[in-house]
Amino acid sequence: MSKIIRWGIIGCGDVTEFKSGPAFKKVEGSALVAVMRRNESLAADYAARHGVAKWYSDGDALINDADVDAIYVATPPSGHAYYAIKAMRAGKPVYVEKPMAATYAQCLEMIEVSQITGVPLFVAYYRRTLPGFLKVKELIEDGAIGVPLVINIRLMRPALLAELDANNPSWRVDPETAGGGIFYDLASHQLDFLDFVFGKVTEVSGFAANRANLYKAEDTVTASLKFKSGISASGTWCFVTDESTREDVIEIIGTNGRIEFSTFGHQPIKLITKNGVLEFPYINPENIQYNLIRQIVETLQGKAECVSTGISAARTNWVMEQIVKCFYGA
C-alpha cells in the first residue's frame, strides 16, 4: 500500500456530499482520485464540484484503475456486497457504508472473501470514533453509573416526504434495496454502538409491523436483547408517528444512576446521579465520518487498528434480521 492511500468512491450520492466524501481529501495520507456513479452527468458533476480528477459510470472501471488503492462503496445496501467483493478480489481494501449489506448472508460472503484474499474490510459505523459516543463509553467503563443494569432505546419520528412518494419512493423504504425499512437505516447505528460498548448480542427477539401502510417495509419495531456483558435492552422504533411524539433517546440505567443520550440529535449527553445532572457536549468533526476515515487510513498504513470492521458490522445485520424476520416471513 502506498504512503498516500488513493481512494475511489462507488456511488457518489447524498451521503458522500458532506458526511464522508470531503474527508478523504482532508485526512493526512489520504487522497480522493476517482468517483463513480451510473449516471454519467451526475458523476462528472460530482467530480467537478469536489475537485476529483477522474470519474466513471462503470464500477469495474474504477475498481480496475491502477491509480486507485482503496474503494469506498456508498451505494444503497443491495449493492454493497457486489462491489465490495469485486474490489477485494482485485486486491483493494474496502470501506462500505452501513448497514454492511442488505442481508446477513451477504455480510458472511463479504467476510469470507476478505479472509480468503487477506484484503481488509471496514464499515461506516463512525459513531465508534465520535467524541460524544466515546464519552458515553468512558462513563460506563469508569463506573459513573455503577453496574449497568438495563438499556432503553426509543426512536420515533414522522414519515418523510421522500418516503411518501408513491411514484418514486425512497430506496430506504424498499426492503429489496435497503434490507428492511428505516429501521435498517437508523437503528443499525444504535445497535452497532451498543455492541461496541457492551459486546455482541447473544439473545434477541422482536416484532415488526407495517402500521401506516405508507410503503412496503416495516414502520414499527419492538425488540428485546441481551448482550455478552449480561446487560439487557428493550427498543421501540416507529417512523410514522406524529411530530408531537418525536423522540431520539438511549437510556442506560445502572445501580448508581443513568446516562441519557441521542443518536442523531446530538443534544448534550446527560449523566444523572444522586449528585445531580452533568452534561457533556457532542464535539463532531465538520465531516462526520472524518475520524473513522482517518483511522482506516492509519490502519492501512500500519499505524492503527480500526474499530469498525466487517466482523463487527455483520453482527448488527444479524441482530436486525432476527428482529424483523417475523414481518418478512423468515
**How high is the pLDDT of residue 40?**
94
**How high is the pLDDT of residue 179?**
97
**How high is the pLDDT of residue 32?**
98
Going by CATH, does the domain composed of 131-283 fall within 3.40.50.300? Answer: no
Among 63, 68, 64, 46, which Cα is nearest to 55's? 46
* Three-state SS annotation for 80-102: HHHHHHHHHHCCCCEEECCCCCC
Per-residue pLDDT tens over the stretch 195-250: 999 999 999 999 999 999 999 999 999 999 999 999 999 999 999 999 999 999 99
Helix (H) or strand (E) holding 59: helix 59-63
pLDDT at 1 over 90: no
Residues of the chain within CATH 3.40.50.720 domain(s) are 5-124+288-304
- The Cα–Cα gap between 328 and 82 comes to 23
In terms of DSSP bridges, do strands 54-56 and 201-209 run parallel, antiparallel, or are they unpaired?
unpaired
- Give me the mean pLDDT over the 253-262 stretch: 98
Among 29, 34, 77, 78, which Cα is nearest to 59's? 34
- The Cα–Cα gap between 283 and 60 comes to 38
Residues of the chain within CATH 3.30.360.10 domain(s) are 131-283
Instruction: Name which CATH class applies to 5-124+288-304.
Output: alpha beta
Mean pLDDT rounded to a whole number for the chain:
97
- The Cα–Cα gap between 131 and 114 comes to 29
